[in-house]
Each structure stands twice: as structure tokens, then as C-alpha cells.
Structure 1
Amino acid sequence: MLLDVCSLLLIPYLLGHAVASAGANHAPASVKIRNGTVVGVSDDSSRVQRFLGIPYAQAPVGDLRLQQARPLNTSFGTLHANSFSPACYGPEKDSNPNPSEDCLTLNIWRPFGQYCGGELKPVLVWFYGGGLMSGYTEDPTFEGTNMVRISSEINKEIVLVSVNYRLGPLGFLNGQQMADLGLLNLGMLDQRLALHWVQENIAAFGGDPTKVTLFGESAGAVSIYSHMMAYGGRDDKLFRAGILQSGGAFPLTLANTTAFQETFDSLITDTSCVSLKDASAAEQLDCIRQLPVETFLSSVGSSTGQSIDGSFTQTSVQFAFPEGKYVKVATIVGANTDEGTTSGPTGINTEDQLHGPLADGYFRPKLLPNSTVSRLLSLYPDDPRHGCPYNTGSTPLTPGKLDKKACSIFGDIVQIAPARLIAESLARNNHKGHGHKAPVYRYRFNHLPHDVDASNITRGIGTGLEQRYIFSNLIPDFPWDQALAYEMSSAWISFAHDLDPNPGGESALPFWPEYGRDGKSMVFNGYGSEIEEDTYRRESIDYIIKSVIPYGAL
């Protein structure tokens, strides 16, 4: 099969390469796949070719709105893949720039080289974050050229893929009707179809379908562990490794909770579909599919997200991973020092003011018991010197006297404790001696960029900050930032290439050991990275893992 594909793409590839060699800035690069010929662009300065906006599914519009994504079944002829496709809609029309329902596309970057008969390269597949409500591949933070260029410079070449998937009510609408029709978690199933597309097509671009690593941040990390535990841990051989950056462990419920059901019902009661209030689920969906997208978005309720569907998602990660119900793959699990500045409330001056937000939680389906909230409050000091953002002393960065305490608790609940839970579960299952052992690595990103200013200092080393370093994009023109970005890109590339994040050679990073029973973790910092034991705030985080994260989850 591969030889046949190569024979088809050899002539256009050589022609494009010849033009590039002649000195053109953006010479074409052509790859033939089942659906047609994909014509990308070549960047001579970086020696990277990119293919942007490639559809991996039929457009989910009209009768295909709120349907599971369907594979392309027609030829697109010649696709000039020189620009990103529109972003997917979020919960509001302007959640993402330039949105469209026709958004199920992916992008590919590969290094210059001979792709016929040569050795296939490991593949990195990126899923963006955004709470399953926002995010898009055109975000300049995720542009893949620098990462692929670095892979050539360290002699560990990779192919990089980024994926658009449906979000908000168009990707994660719930309600009993959606459950009855088997139409839950559509955005996750978009990703799954994209991974199948990679298996079928990436060899034509020089990528090895047997050496795929998934990586993503926040909701992107949640997506990855969702694929690890998909279908009860069934291994469809779609990937061999995963990198979870700042992923949470949100308690999942069934699709017919009050909030989920009200969100769906609003599309009937608040639109022209009201006459179908007592009709069948199929009739209601048929009407909803005909609504203008502006009407759909302005009418739909606000509660959307991943839910238990009994098939793709059978339980929450806080149960699946400790019980070993997941695909055993090499994994990196990490978080940033000041995650809580994204999720924690501010303007908090008393514990009474903090009690309500803590009980209500973050994506939590029911209130935490008063005893649990009281215990949480007692485990964290009021002293701002020990709060989040950390290492900022007593300096008040926001108005509330207890804001640092609030951010510390919320950060631990939403991302820090889940990362430790996941890493400990994976490492523990490795040591049980059953089945395939997969290495587990842990990190904490602890670097404040040189270009941070008064407008964002309150976030400290907050959620998502590591992404620009991993992709080596938008980095301050400052030696320590530039060096850290190169080292982190090299570590991620090395993990995809060798299942080991240690770049070797002249890397300035200390040796990164497996997490293991002693919980060794890399601390990334531009002024000197180091290895620590993952034991900080042990009592409070252990309590969260035991009593908070599982509460309300199925």
C-alpha cells in the first residue's frame, strides 16, 4: 500500500522540491491520498512543509448537524491546503474568531525530506484546550513550524498534526433526547474520527501510524485520557503515548441532569420548534437541525459538556484509571504552579464568602457537603505567603484578603490533584506486574516569562502558559525564555520519538526519571530546571483525591 502511494506522489513531490531548491519562498508540496491531492506550501527558511485545513469528515451542516461525524466519501480533487479552515463555533457566535459549522479539519507539518521509501517518522497529534467551549487550531501559539524544525535540528524528526473538533452545544449537547439517539460527546467522536484518518493517511505524509503520540492542554488533556479509557479501555491501536498538560478530572454524570435537560429543552421551547414539544426525539432533532445557527446559539442553554454515554465514555477518570480500565500507553502528566488563578474566585475576604463557591465547585454536578468544605478550608492557611500565585509573598495581587487561599484550593481541586491522581494511578498499575508496562513521567511548569506585565501578573504561572514554550512560539526575546522553550520542545519531541523525554546530547535539562513509586517530577524553569518529589501540599491534595474529586461522579 505504501509503495503504491509513494509512486503516486513521487512526481509532484519532486517537482515541488525542485522549485523549492530553486529558491522560491513557498514552493508547493503535493501528497496524494484517497480523497484527492493535497497541495501544501514549503517554508525554505525552516525547511518545513505544511498542509492546512484538510477535511477529515463530511461537513456537519444541515441534516448532519448534531450527528456523529462521518468519513469523507467523495473526492475533493486538488485541495490547496495553504490556509487554516474556520474555527468551530463555541457556545456563542464570537467564542472563536471566524467560526463555521464546516470546521472538521486538521493540519499537518513535516520536515523537508524524501518521503518515498524512507523511514516513516513518529507523529504528534495536538488537541487544543478551552473547556470544550473554545479553542481552534489557527491560534498562533499552536503553529507547528518551529516544533518540527527543532525535531530536525535534534535529529529526531516528527510529523505534527493539529485537529479542529466541535465545541459547546454543537459538540457536547446533552439531554435525554440526545442520549436516546446515541448522539452524546460528538466533539470527542470528532477527535476519534480524526485519529482514524491519521491511521489511514499519515503514511502518505511520511508519518508512522504505529507511532502516534497525543498531546493536549486542559480540555485537550481531558480529551486524551478520554481516548485512553474509551469503550472501557478498548485498544483500537490509534496511539502509543499521551501527554496530559493541565488536565482536570471533572466528575461526569448522565446526560439527563436538570441542567443538561434544560439546555436541550431551550432549543424547543425558545424557538420555532415549540410545536414539537411533545414529539419524538428524532422529530425534535430534525427541527433543531433546520434552525439558523445564529438562532441555535442564541436560544440554547448554557450547560454542555462531556457526559456518560455508556459507550465511548463509560465512567469518570477518577474511577477508570485506579481500576486499570484504560489503554496502557507511555504518558507524561503535568501541571503549572499557579493553576488556580484561572479557576479560583477573587474578591474573597471571609471564609463564608468562599464556602459557597467551594460547595458549588467547578463543573461539579452537585454541592459538596458542608463537612467537606469545612475540612478543605481548614487544610489551607489564610496567610497569603502560602497561597496562589505562589512565591509572591504577602503582596496583594487582587482585592480579596483570602484570594490567594481561594486560588490555592481551586487550583488543587481542578488540576493539581487530578494530575497527581492520574500519575499515581498509572505508576501504581505499572508496579502491579500485570500486562504491558508503560512509562509515566511527571512535570511542573514553574517559569514566569520575561514579558509578563502588570495586566497579567495576577495569573502568575497560570493555566496554558507552558504551551508557547512547548511549541516554541511567541517566546520573549530573552535568553532564558528562548533556551527553556527549545529544551521543552526537544523533550516533547523526544518522548514522541523514543517514548523517553530525555533529549540526550547537549540538553541543559537534568535527567528526567520515570515517576515511579517515589514520585519523581521535572520542574521546568528557565533559570534552572530540577527534579523534585511530587509531595507538596500532601495532606490537602490527598484529601481532595480521596473525598472531593470522586464526589458526584459516575
Structure 2
Amino acid sequence: MRSSLFAGLVGVSAVGAVKPLVDVSYSKYQGVPLGNGITQWMGVRYAAPPVGDLRFAAPSDPVKNKTTIIADTSGNICLGTGSAPSNTSSEDCLFLNVFAPTNATSDNPLPVYFFIQGGGFNTNSNPNYNGSGLIEASNHNIVVVNFNYRVGPYGFLASNEIVTGGAPNNGLRDQIKALQWVQKNIKKFGGDPKHVTIGGASAGAASVTLLLTAHNGRNDNLFHASAAESQSFAAVRSINESQFMYDNLVIRTGCTSSNDTLACLRSLNSTYLQTKNINTPFPGAEGAPLYMYGPTLDGDVVTDLTMAAYRKGNFIKLPAIYGDDTNEGTVFVPVNTSSQGESNTFLKNQFPLLTLSQIKKINKLYPNNASNQFPNSGAWWRQASDQYGELRYNCPGINISDIYAATFNRKDIYNYHWDVVDPVAAAAGRGVTHTVEIAAIWGPNNTQGNAPASYSTTNANIVPVTQAYWTSFIRSYNPNTYRLKGSPIWEAWTQGQKQRLHFVTNATAMENVDAVQKERCAYLSSIALDIKQ
């Protein structure tokens, strides 16, 4: 066992171990061995800079560079919607990071965890997480990869002009390019290209579902299991339905009079373009959505609505984890939401195809609870948060798990309910918030300061339990194989038993989905295709 050898190998290269200097054919990267028996390679290019004529184009191979690059610094983060360029963000952002045990060997490669960050496809919101915590939790038995991909208009601008002169869904194409890089190169870092688990949070979890359904569910053997945390189901529009975003950007940037509007957009410097990179309302909505840009039906990478693809069976059927947090919506809905009208307007701004009768039914399913009020917040904040959270996050994960189990009789589908209460968030009324579980999965010291303080104090005990389940799944496609001693068996979700693991500090146990949530999710599932989820 690799773990039994590790004790004598900390800080020492084992015989046959991967060397810190790695040649990936187009360049050489000098990794940095750390004192914890882990080597990291930061800022590794996996595609050419998507600038100039490559703006709005599919990713290209990196240009060959004979210079050895000291891989001790993360690459730039991709430019996000509504933000100005900074000294850590740039349009030249297609970089990844690799973390591997120092004693990893290419002869006996280790399972790979490939993490896709979130950000609503409009920002890179989980950049450069430190993979050391996961590797240590696995007893130095996995390799971790994370990366940046294009977002906002750079990654998801769609129009007839883009189809003709560029490519839609470039953010997803970047993800596929990074997965192809893993297949080609990860063995040089000690990782096994035949044992790759993709994971992601929020839009990263949406990416998991989109990669599973990509190319009409074609399996290109780029990955072999998946774990989706707070899976997000936004509307997926056609090219024609997305044309307004392109047209509005052309107008805002002054490219209207150009004979070639796409060439004009490509000629703009990113600093100027960022001043015009804003969200505008969807047709049929009163106000701008939280996230305007996103994956588009292009007939290639995205061939169907995500929920439709699952229902038709047009997805790669692999071992999977889906799950969510108790209060998915509270971090999104304006805290001052103070009337049913404001609540309904917020929901309609995100999903403009909702009809009046559908909104009426949703209001009935989610009555306002006068006792569920918090200081400095509007009287309808939590009501709006509950409906938005379940519509976009909770219920799609439950419904997908049902599809796996009922239609395809899978025995390796696992669902969870994250219900670890942080005192600060609870007091503010946010509850157990969207994607907070990634602080436990990665370890609270490895998420760029985003972990609640309680994950290092009163909730510290949940961290090793969580990490053991996740690293077990990464290693064996089963969260139970290497689970922490004394923790419960994570039972699979089945057609007859809609059960999930209920994460609570010092009280984690299996639970059934309650009848009231089943009723709500059944209705939201019935309208999923109407609103283009």
C-alpha cells in the first residue's frame, strides 16, 4: 500500500517517484515539493492564451516554449462579468494547478480528482484551492487538479455571428480541453488517466451535469465518476434566444457601425470591454438576472436541455454523488425582499418563462412564514430564498438521482443533504448556505479564506468525516470503502428508498426525503422543461 510507505518518504523522493521537473511536450514545469510530502505545480498552461483572434474561439493547444517555467505561482483568474481587470485577473487565464504526493510514481499512478469551480458561469469563484488537504485526507493516495475556464461573454457569448466566426460554449470547451490535457499528461505527475473523478460546486456542479450530457451523452472516456455539490440548473437557451446578449454588447461597445461586429469586439482591449461587461434583463423580465451568460444549445457540446437529456438517457452513466445545502437560496435573494411582488419579480428575473399560473402554484407551495424573520431583512426574504433555492439547486439534484435509480437501476448513486449549522450564518438568517460544504471537503485552511470560522472550532469534527467520504469516492467510486471509522454507511439512492446522507456535526446519519419536499420537487420537476432547465 502507498500509504504504508509514506511515513518514510516525507520530504524524500522515493525510488521511481515523479520528478518535480515535468516535461509536458510543449513546455517544462518545475514543481515545488512541500514539507508535507506533496509536490505542487501551479500556473500550468493547458491552452493557448484566448486573446486577439482567439477571443470567442474554441481553445487551442499551447504554443511550445523551450524555457523551463518555475511552477510556484497560480495563473491569472479569468475575467468575470461586472469586475475590472486586476493584477490577479486577465483574459490570458487558461491555467491549471496539479497537486500530487511527492512519492507518486508513473508506474503505479493514483486516482485523480478534477475540480471545476463555480461562479454562475460569470466568474471564477473558487480559484486556486489548495489540494493538499484532500491528498492528506486520502493518505497520499490521490492527485488533485483544479483550473480556470472562461466565463461571462469570453466563455459563453452566443449568437449567429459567434457560430459563424468563433464558437459558443467556450467555457465548457475549456473544461473539455483541460480534461484532454489530463488524459495526455497527468501520468507524468503520478496520476491515473483511467481513473478520473470530476467534481464541482454550483456552476462547477452544473458543468458536471453538462459534461455528462455533452455531445448527446457521448462517452469520450475523459472521466469515470462524478461528484456534484449544489448542482445548479439555470435555463439553457438556443443560439437565437441568446442573440440579444450579443446585440446588446455590440451596441454598448460602439461596434454597431462595423461591417464585422465580431471583429470589432475582438479588437477591443479587455479593460474597455470589461466596462461594458454587465448583465441585462432577459426578454420577458423586469430586471437583470444574477447571471446572464451561460451554456447555450449549440447542437454540439450542448444538444438538449439538461433535464431533458437526463430523462432521455442521453448522459454518461457513471458512479455519482449529488447533493445540496439546506438553505441554497439565501445568499442570492436580496435581503431586503419585503413583499410577495418583490419575491415573484426576483424569481421571474431569473426564469422569465415562468407563467403567472406557475408562479401562483409556487407561492402556494412556499407560503411566507411570519415567524421565520431575521433582523435587518425583508419579511419575504426567506420565502423567496426557499423557492429559488429548491427550484435551481435542491430539487434538480433529487430529480436526477431519481432518474438514475428508477430508469437505469444504478446502485452507485449517492445523495446528500448538508445541514451543518454555522452560528454566524444562522444568526444572520442565512442558514446552511450554498456550497458551504466545499470548505469541509477541501479542508477549511485550503479554500482561500472562504470557510466559516466554526469549521475550525465547533464544526471541526465534520471535516475529517466529509473528507474521508469524498476521497473514498475518488479512490474507489464508493464513499464507504475508506470512510472514517465510526461514520455511518452512506447508502445508495434507490427507486424504492429515496435516502440521502444527512451531514450534521457529530450526528451524521441517513435520512429519507420528507413528503413535503417530495411534493414541492415533484411540481418543480413538472415545469423544468417549460422554463428550459
TM-score by length of 2: 0.88
Instruction: State the shift of 1:195 in Å.
Output: 0.3
1:135 alignment partner in structure 2: 124
2:500 alignment partner in structure 1: 521
Equivalent position to 1:328, from 317, 320, 345: 317
SS in structure 1 at match of 2:31:
strand
Equivalent position to 1:458, from 422, 426, 429: 429
- Please list the CA deviations of residues 31-87 of structure 1 after superposition, one character each: whole Å capped at 9, or x if unmatched: 22212321111111x211100000000111112111110012423431211110110
Q: Say if 1:174 and 1:305, in contact at 8 Å, map to a contact too.
A: no
- Please list the CA deviations of residues 345-367 of structure 1 after superposition, one character each: whole Å capped at 9, or x if unmatched: 44344434433333x152x2x33
Shift in alpha-carbon separation, 1:395–1:509, aligned structure 2, 3 A:
farther
Work out whether 1:541 is the aligned partner of 2:521: yes
1:256 alignment partner in structure 2: 240
**In the aligned structure 2, how far is the partner of 1:263 from the partner of 1:295?**
17
Equivalent position to 2:228, from 244, 256, 274: 244
- Please list the CA deviations of residues 272-321 of structure 1 after superposition, one character each: whole Å capped at 9, or x if unmatched: 53331xx3xxx322222111112222234524221100110011111011
1:62 alignment partner in structure 2: 52
Q: Say if 1:137 and 1:163, in contact at 8 Å, map to a contact too.
A: no
- Please list the CA deviations of residues 369-406 of structure 1 after superposition, one character each: whole Å capped at 9, or x if unmatched: 11111111112233245xxxxxxxx4524432232222
2:284 alignment partner in structure 1: none
Instruction: State the shift of 1:457 in Å.
Output: 2.8
Shift in alpha-carbon separation, 1:509–1:397, aligned structure 2, 3 A:
farther
Q: Say if 2:104 and 2:110, in contact at 8 Å, map to a contact too.
A: no
1:309 alignment partner in structure 2: 298
Letter in 2 for 1:87: I
1:9-20 maps to which residues of 2 (within 5 A)?
A: 20=11
Letter in 2 for 1:318: M
Instruction: State the shift of 1:342 in Å.
Output: 2.2
Letter in 2 for 1:108: V
2:70 alignment partner in structure 1: 80
Instruction: State the shift of 1:211 in Å.
Output: 0.5
Instruction: State the shift of 1:479 in Å.
Output: 5.3
**In the aligned structure 1, how far is the partner of 2:482 from the partner of 2:115?**
24
Work out whether 1:217 is the aligned partner of 2:201: yes
Q: Say if 2:94 and 2:149, in contact at 8 Å, map to a contact too.
A: yes
Equivalent position to 1:443, from 402, 416, 439: 416
Instruction: State the shift of 1:525 in Å.
Output: 1.3
**In the aligned structure 2, how far is the partner of 1:324 from the partner of 1:371?**
30
Q: Say if 2:85 and 2:274, in contact at 8 Å, map to a contact too.
A: no
1:369 alignment partner in structure 2: 355
1:31-430 maps to which residues of 2 (within 5 A)?
A: 31-44=22-35, 46-94=36-84, 98-117=88-107, 119-135=108-124, 138-139=127-128, 142-152=129-139, 157-181=141-165, 183-257=167-241, 260-271=242-253, 273-276=255-258, 279=259, 283-300=260-277, 302=279, 303-358=292-347, 360-362=348-350, 364=351, 366-384=352-370, 394-430=372-408
Q: Say if 1:345 and 1:406, in contact at 8 Å, map to a contact too.
A: no
**In the aligned structure 2, how far is the partner of 1:111 from the partner of 1:53?**
18
**In the aligned structure 2, how far is the partner of 1:416 from the partner of 1:488?**
19
Q: Say if 2:414 and 2:493, in contact at 8 Å, map to a contact too.
A: yes
Instruction: State the shift of 1:486 in Å.
Output: 1.3
Q: Say if 1:361 and 1:367, in contact at 8 Å, map to a contact too.
A: no
2:16 alignment partner in structure 1: none
Letter in 2 for 1:522: L
Letter in 2 for 1:465: V
Letter in 1 for 2:511: E
**In the aligned structure 2, how far is the partner of 1:352 from the partner of 1:264?**
30
Letter in 2 for 1:151: S
**In the aligned structure 1, how far is the partner of 2:346 from the partner of 2:373?**
24
SS in structure 2 at match of 1:523:
strand
**In the aligned structure 2, how far is the partner of 1:252 from the partner of 1:129?**
17
Letter in 1 for 2:316: V
Q: Say if 1:87 and 1:97, in contact at 8 Å, map to a contact too.
A: no
Letter in 1 for 2:216: G
- Please list the CA deviations of residues 225-251 of structure 1 after superposition, one character each: whole Å capped at 9, or x if unmatched: 111000000000000011111112222
Shift in alpha-carbon separation, 1:465–1:76, aligned structure 2, 3 A:
farther
The runs of 5 or more residues in structure 1 that have no matched partner are 1-16, 23-27, 386-393, 432-436
Instruction: State the shift of 1:29 in Å.
Output: 1.9
**In the aligned structure 1, how far is the partner of 2:271 from the partner of 2:365?**
47
**In the aligned structure 2, how far is the partner of 1:193 from the partner of 1:97?**
25
Letter in 2 for 1:483: N
Shift in alpha-carbon separation, 1:84–1:513, aligned structure 2, 3 A:
same
2:478 alignment partner in structure 1: 500
**In the aligned structure 1, how far is the partner of 2:293 from the partner of 2:186?**
32
Shift in alpha-carbon separation, 1:102–1:534, aligned structure 2, 3 A:
same
Letter in 2 for 1:381: P
SS in structure 1 at match of 2:461:
helix
**In the aligned structure 1, how far is the partner of 2:100 from the partner of 2:402?**
35
Q: Say if 2:114 and 2:199, in contact at 8 Å, map to a contact too.
A: yes
Shift in alpha-carbon separation, 1:316–1:116, aligned structure 2, 3 A:
closer
TM-score by length of 1: 0.85
Equivalent position to 2:463, from 476, 485, 501: 485
Q: Say if 2:199 and 2:227, in contact at 8 Å, map to a contact too.
A: yes
Letter in 2 for 1:60: P
**In the aligned structure 2, how far is the partner of 1:116 from the partner of 1:353?**
57
Q: Say if 2:84 and 2:271, in contact at 8 Å, map to a contact too.
A: no
SS in structure 2 at match of 1:326:
coil
SS in structure 1 at match of 2:247:
helix
Shift in alpha-carbon separation, 1:236–1:297, aligned structure 2, 3 A:
same
Letter in 2 for 1:383: N
SS in structure 2 at match of 1:146:
helix
What percent of counterpart residues are identical? 26
SS in structure 2 at match of 1:147:
helix
- Please list the CA deviations of residues 160-210 of structure 1 after superposition, one character each: whole Å capped at 9, or x if unmatched: 000110011111112221133451111110000000000000001110001
SS in structure 1 at match of 2:525:
helix
Shift in alpha-carbon separation, 1:377–1:95, aligned structure 2, 3 A:
farther
Letter in 2 for 1:307: T
- Please list the CA deviations of residues 416-435 of structure 1 after superposition, one character each: whole Å capped at 9, or x if unmatched: 1111111111112322xxxx
